[in-house]
Amino acid sequence: MRQLIVTEFISIDGIAEHEKLPDVTWNDEMQAFKEDELADSGAMLLGRTTYEIFAGHWPKEKGDFADRFNALPKYVASTSLRSVDWKPAELLDGPLLDAVARLKRQAGRNIYVHGSVSLARQLLGHGLVDRLRLLVYPAAAGQGERLFPSEAPVALELVSAVPFGNGAVAMEYRPAAKA
């Protein structure tokens, strides 16, 4: 069974809205963090907005990372899209939670949710996330879309925390075992 892993850029106060994040100088440590994810990834699960942003950007990129990223199967959760052009991609069929549970049962490497904050929140709330990989930026954003739902606490266990030279911290969590 594949694991579902949510990966997010996030401020220290939980804001995961990319436009609200403070500027951080991209460095080799951050690149290695993303390379590790790509090496572990067998597919992407994306919400409509993130899919459209990625589909408008990544096919134009060149190089080994872009080639491998573009080649990953992409599953898109959307009720408004009728087709997807960034291949290989397909729209999820049926209710979201059932479709994601089916994807997780398939053979293969792990499935990564990149960005797609509202999708990630839904999956977290329904216990479908196996791990969270957070690249925590060294500042509070103050306002913006939060990763974690305010209506229901999410108990997590720390797997690792690695500070980077630019002040960012790579943190990995898994859902806490239920008592």
Please indicate, yes or no, if residue 76 is contained in any of the structural domains. Answer: yes
Residue 121 lies in a domain: yes
At 178, the pLDDT band (50, 70, 90 cuts) reads low
d(CA 146, CA 153): 13
Q: Could you tell me if residue 37 is inside a domain?
A: yes
How many domains does one find in the chain? 1
The angle at the Cα of 46, spanning 143 to 37, to the nearest 5 degrees, equals 90
For 163, the domain range is 4-9+19-175
* Residue at 92 is within a domain: yes
User: Where residue 150 falls among pLDDT bands split at 50, 70, 90?
Assistant: confident
Q: Is the pLDDT of residue 68 over 60?
A: yes
Question: Does residue 81 form part of some domain?
Answer: yes
Alpha-carbon distances of 77 from 48, 59, 88, 102, rounded to whole Å: 6, 20, 15, 13
Task: Please report whether residue 14 resides in a domain.
Answer: no
Is the CB of residue 77 less than 8 Å from the CB of residue 49?
A: no
pTM of the model: 0.94
Residue 86 lies inside a defined structural domain of this protein: yes
The CB density around residue 50, as the number of other CB atoms within 10 Å, is 22
Contact yes or no for 13/144 (Cβ under 8 A)? no
- CATH value at residue 32: 3.40.430.10
What's the CA gap between 26 and 141, in Å, rounded?
Answer: 18
Q: What's the mean pLDDT in 106-123? A: 95
Q: What pLDDT is recorded for position 177?
A: 78
- Residue 136 in any domain: the answer is yes
Do you know the residue count of the chain? 179
